[in-house]
């Protein structure tokens, strides 16, 4: 029986890649607690297992000397052999659960050591089981991950890493990104049933999933020639990716989109039809905001660097496109650029700009004999390119228009 137990332990350690001596040492400690309870030993027991034969020896700890007056504990103990005749049977009964726990903890520690350095990496797995709260994904033999999708109203402390509308079937292959690896040595579980759940937590809603997918599909991104500068995502619905190139001869947007959209189409397919907009990043905030609002055309952008607000003027027919359905396009553009974006159409902006006070100038400007450009600014925010008339600030076309009074009726501005 003893030799059979050692053979089983050796096979188990080989399958789970666990140190056999460490497993036996921990088994001795757990058996000592079990035998102390079974044999009613007041001061505990010490258990040793013969590494060669597997025979179990139980020793009762008998205190000697006087106890410490402060702590009431004994410093030295004598060991008395109290090994029962049926130690193998008792060991098998009491050690079964302990061995399972030791093997499980050892496997989790090994997984934590390997995958704790891979947080942020993309993995490909097979769906093993789906429950209302989470999906179990098999990464490889003996290694599983959890994709949580808890109801946030019932379990606010839990996660929801599944895009809305996605459902998974058995044996389906999916890609996800590692967002957390639970430490098996942590004494304070932070979620329900953490000890029974897989230690690896993956996500399909994290913005970095888009980054990793583009690295897989676009060689220029993987090599670092094209850099993904910012990502804004509403999982399962729409995303925006801002890219720039370290090579002036390479178009970063074209590289990510691919011939006839083949590269970005692969990313969209992996994300189950989520719309992905690839836009050009610029270090100039004005151009960056205009590009982020794509596919809408922008007439003018005014940035207030102190408050971080951007006022965007678009043509009347582009207003709904710039804002997007339920404000989605403007919301994603704000996340992408990190600015607060206020969008106005040209009709409304024309009235606002026209009502702004102008700088004080003499009633009759001095004619210095030098020609200057017409100071009229149109509704699109572009200054007139004609030359001003002598003695006037405006050209002949806009001189009368600039002096016309603006209606105070607010409906006339719409």
Pairing of strands 200-203, 143-148: parallel
Q: Are 374 and 395 in contact (CB under 8 A)?
A: yes
Q: Give me the pLDDT at residue 195, please.
A: 66
Output the six-digit token pair for 379: 């509704």
pLDDT tens-place string over residues 159-178: 899 998 889 999 999 999 99
Q: Give me the pLDDT at residue 412, please.
A: 34
Q: Give me the pLDDT at residue 89, please.
A: 66
Per-residue pLDDT tens digits of the chain, which is 414 residues long:
556 777 777 887 777 777 788 878 888 888 888 888 888 888 888 888 888 777 888 898 888 877 777 777 877 888 888 888 776 666 666 667 767 777 777 788 888 888 989 999 999 999 999 988 899 999 988 889 999 999 888 888 888 999 988 899 999 999 999 999 988 877 666 666 666 788 899 999 999 999 999 999 999 999 999 999 999 999 999 999 999 999 988 999 999 999 989 999 999 999 999 999 999 999 999 999 999 999 999 988 988 888 889 989 998 899 999 999 989 999 999 999 999 999 988 888 776 555 544 433 334 444 444 566 677 766 555 667 677 777 777 776 666 655 543 334 433 333
Q: Give me the pLDDT at residue 275, please.
A: 92
* Calpha distance 212→210 (Å, rounded): 6
Output the six-digit token pair for 293: 């609002």
Domain annotation for the chain: domains and CATH numbers: 2-115 (3.30.1480.10), 119-185+194-203 (2.40.50.140), 220-278 (3.30.300.20), 282-356 (3.30.300.20), 361-414 (no CATH)
Q: Are 12 and 96 in contact (CB under 8 A)?
A: no
Residues in the chain: 414
Q: Average per-residue pLDDT in the chain?
A: 82
Q: Give me the pLDDT at residue 201, please.
A: 93
């Amino acid at each position: 029986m003893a030799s059979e137990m050692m053979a089983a332990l050796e096979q188990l350690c080989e399958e789970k890649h666990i140190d056999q001596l460490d497993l036996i040492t921990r088994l001795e400690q757990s058996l000592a607690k079990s035998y102390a309870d079974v044999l009613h030993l007041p001061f505990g027991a010490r258990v040793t297992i013969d590494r060669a034969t597997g025979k179990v020896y139980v020793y009762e700890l008998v205190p000697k000397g006087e106890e410490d007056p402060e702590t009431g504990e004994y410093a030295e103990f004598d060991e008395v052999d109290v090994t029962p005749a049926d130690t193998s049977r008792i060991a098998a009964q009491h050690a079964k659960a302990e061995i399972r726990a030791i093997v499980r903890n050892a496997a989790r520690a090994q997984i934590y050591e390997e995958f704790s350095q891979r947080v942020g990496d993309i993995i490909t797995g097979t769906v093993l089981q789906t429950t209302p709260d989470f999906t179990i994904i098999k990464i490889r033999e003996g290694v599983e991950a959890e994709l949580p999708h808890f109801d946030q109203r019932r379990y606010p402390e839990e996660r929801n890493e599944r895009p809305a509308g996605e459902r998974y079937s058995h044996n389906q292959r999916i890609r996800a990104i590692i967002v957390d690896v639970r430490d098996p040595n942590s004494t304070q579980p932070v979620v329900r049933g953490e000890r029974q759940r897989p230690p690896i937590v993956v996500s399909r809603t994290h913005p970095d999933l888009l980054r990793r997918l583009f690295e897989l599909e676009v060689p220029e991104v993987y090599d670092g020639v094209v850099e993904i500068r910012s990502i804004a995502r509403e999982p399962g619905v729409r995303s925006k990716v801002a890219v720039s190139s370290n090579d002036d001869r390479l178009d970063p947007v074209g590289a990510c989109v691919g011939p006839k959209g083949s590269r970005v189409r692969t990313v969209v397919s992996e994300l189950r039809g989520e719309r992905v907009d690839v836009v050009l990043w610029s270090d100039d905030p004005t151009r960056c905001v205009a590009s982020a609002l794509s596919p809408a055309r922008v007439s003018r952008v005014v940035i207030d660097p102190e408050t971080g607000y951007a006022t965007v003027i678009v043509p009347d027919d582009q207003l709904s496109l710039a804002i997007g359905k339920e404000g989605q396009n403007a919301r994603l553009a704000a996340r992408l650029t990190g600015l607060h974006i206020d969008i106005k159409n040209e009709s409304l902006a024309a009235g606002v700009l026209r009502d702004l006070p102008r700088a004080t100038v003499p009633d009759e400007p001095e004619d210095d004999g030098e020609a200057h450009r017409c100071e009229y600014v149109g509704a699109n925010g572009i200054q007139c390119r004609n030359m001003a008339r002598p003695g006037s600030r405006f050209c002949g076309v806009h001189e009368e228009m600039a002096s016309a009074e603006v209606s105070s009726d607010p409906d006339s501005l719409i």
